[in-house]
Chain A
Amino acid sequence: MVILSVQNLCQSYPNKKDVLKDVSFEAETGKVVSLIGPNGCGKTTLIKTICGVFGQKNGTISVNGVPLSSMSRKETAKVVGYVPQNVIYSGHSTVFDTVLLGRFPYVEWTYTKKDIGIVSDALRCLGLEGLSGRDIGHLSGGQRQKVFIARSLAQDPRFYIFDEPTNSLDLKNQLNTMKIMRDIVKEKKACLVVALHDLNLAMRYSDEVIVLKDGVVFDKGPPEDVITADMIEKVYGVSSKIFEEDGEFFVHLYEGID
């Protein structure tokens, strides 16, 4: 088992108050860990700090005790795969070529048949094989989002760090993508740390949920323990009811509370 450990993490932007305050949690392989919380609570900042996009102000981020900051760039790329919220792409690139970039940490200059096979499998896994030769600029937002997820699959890291990956997807694709990722996490003994807004998705697919509010960890633990009507009211300001059907928990939201 490999553990990603975030300890006492603080983060701030220039001339602004602290965005993350003393955030600590652990994510272990074989699990889906959801980050939830209202807009501006620090989810994206936390993800970008873990991924090294932002330098960390205080605290440590380590994998099995080895700080990520002490690893080489390529070593880190084999450990952490990142899909940002707003993904940049280049037109005139095919879907296959875009996903192929995920193999970069393993390749010096020329891709091997193994790389081509891994990319093909990633495309098939997300049902994108029919789009392999299409220009990524000609895809819908949802299709493109799946291409970027496929790229991170091709990267084959131990920790997939996704920032709101289901935003552009329709209902069916949201469920399919989360299921695929959960299956991959279990099969490959990897870990998915994912920022989500949809509490039902978090409830359904997470092994653990971390609730952020105003830059601090409000609560963490198994989804059925953490996602409660009380938490939703305190963190989101929304009244809700949690109900159970066939052993699964669902969130029903009422109107916002002013």
Chain B
Amino acid sequence: MTEPQDGSKIQISEIFGRSKKDVSPEGVYISGLRKKLLFIIIASVILVCVAIVSLGIGAVNISVSDTISAIAHAISPSDFAGPENEWYSTILFQGRLPRIVLAITAGASLAVAGAVMQGTLRNPLVSPFTLGVSSAASFGATMSIVYGASVFGALYYAQVSVGKYAISFSTVSTMIFSFVVGMISISLVLILGRRKDTSKSTIILGGVVIGYLFQAGVTFTKYISNDEALRDITLWLMGGTWNASWGSMIILVPIILIALIVLEGMSFKINTLSAGDDVASKLGIDVNKLRRDSLILSTFITSVCIAFTGIIGFVGLMAPHICRMFIGNDCRYLIPASAVAGALVLLASDTVARIIIAPSQLPVGIIMYLIGGAFFIWLISKKNVGEYW
């Protein structure tokens, strides 16, 4: 060791100040940390830029400078003048921002759920979508849309005011139904994976089958729905962010934020699972509890987002893999990196979906199926994908 081996933590200044040419083990580690932090910082900056551009795009195109001045004015009205057209602020903050917040939140949640599921099940091909959790959660949400009023009666239509926004109980009901059915599906996957001889492909095939089962449920529910419910369900299932409103975002964002922080707190333990259950338990981990808790939380964040967006596939698969290629498998960094990358992928796709056939809009789910499908084919064609866990 060239430096004293004290019990102090590594400072940010040491991470960014150390020579890149240091090839000692310590230097290599510090260099890895720098790479991880830089990736997260750069991806975050790109995300903010894409969000600003995306805010300006729509039926009324607003320039980037007007968007930035509107944001600055909203943050500090006394220091910054707003855009010349006063109604730009209304379009930006009441019309478009909730949708962008939903895309960012859903993208981050699905990506983190994918990263955690891949880490805890040691399977690079699992994600909320490939494990059938998305289909199950969508079935739960469909049930809520069709039967919520029958189950909860007048309560289903009740609303609670928080400041100037109204939270509807139907939104909460959809989240609960999604989560409960999502949990049933992940439980089935866990039962399937309990046998030690279960292969990675068996879990994926099991997930596909479970997905089909819940898809059958969705189809049946659509079949027996009236025309109005059928239209709602069909549109919602295509996956989109057009349902976003501040009323729903003030429930969704804090819930997801807390869940992501808890998952980040578990990331250090999740890392040990990469060494296998036997070694992880000898490193001091209660493997079954960790796997159960992290999968419940992943299913939770997936389900509550799907309750708002419908099925959006492949974000949970793509984002963690893209991040892994750059920063490796340390979940302490992989989880925040995946959150930013997932948010970026979904926001960019949603922006494309909004403009590709303007003045109409495509559901972002369609774009994600196209990009994600190609990514999945590339992933399974990699020679060593099965060797990684």
Contact = CB atoms under 8 A, between A and B. Distances in A.
Contact of A90 (B1, B26, B388): B388
Interface in A33-54: 48, 51-53
B325 A92 contact: yes
Interface string A132-167: 110101000000000000010001000000000000
Given A48-B278, A112-B9, A113-B6, A97 B328 contact: yes
Contacts of A87: 275-276, 279
B329 A97 contact: yes
A101 B268 CA distance: 9
Contact of A51 (B25, B275, B282): B282
A98 B332 CA distance: 14
B275 A88 contact: yes
A240 interface: no
Interface stretch (B28-36, B71-79, B303-311): B28-36
A91 B388 contact: yes
A124 B23 CA distance: 13
A101 to B, nearest CB: 6
Contacts of A84: 276, 278-279
Interface in A51-75: 51-53, 72-74
B118 to A, nearest CB: 10
Interface residues of B, number: 44
A116 B29 contact: yes
A73 B286 contact: yes
Interface string B7-34: 1111000000000000111101101100
Contacts of B32: 94, 96-97, 133
A77 interface: yes
Given A77-B282, A119-B25, A132-B28, A97 B10 contact: no
A155 B283 contact: yes
B9 A90 contact: no
Given A74-B284, A112-B7, A93 B274 contact: yes
Contacts of A119: 25, 29
A10 B117 CA distance: 37
A33 B332 CA distance: 38
A117 B1 CA distance: 6
A188 to B, nearest CB: 16
Interface stretch (A103-111, A176-184, A228-236): A103-111
Interface residues of A, number: 54
B284 A92 contact: no
A113 B10 contact: yes
B34 to A, nearest CB: 12
Contacts of A100: 29
Contact of B29 (A48, A96, A130): A96
A135 B388 CA distance: 11
A52 B329 contact: no
A205 interface: no
A101 B284 contact: no
Nearest to B332: A109
A89 interface: yes
Interface string B270-282: 0110111011011
A89 to B, nearest CB: 7
Contacts of B93: none
B115 to A, nearest CB: 12
Nearest to B327: A92
30 contacts: A48-B278, A51-B282, A73-B285, A74-B284, A82-B278, A82-B279, A82-B282, A84-B276, A88-B389, A91-B384, A92-B324, A92-B328, A93-B330, A104-B268, A105-B283, A107-B268, A108-B268, A109-B268, A109-B332, A113-B7, A114-B6, A114-B7, A116-B29, A119-B29, A120-B25, A123-B25, A130-B23, A132-B28, A133-B28, A133-B32
What are the nearest 3 A-B pairs in CB distance? A88-B276, A91-B388, A117-B5
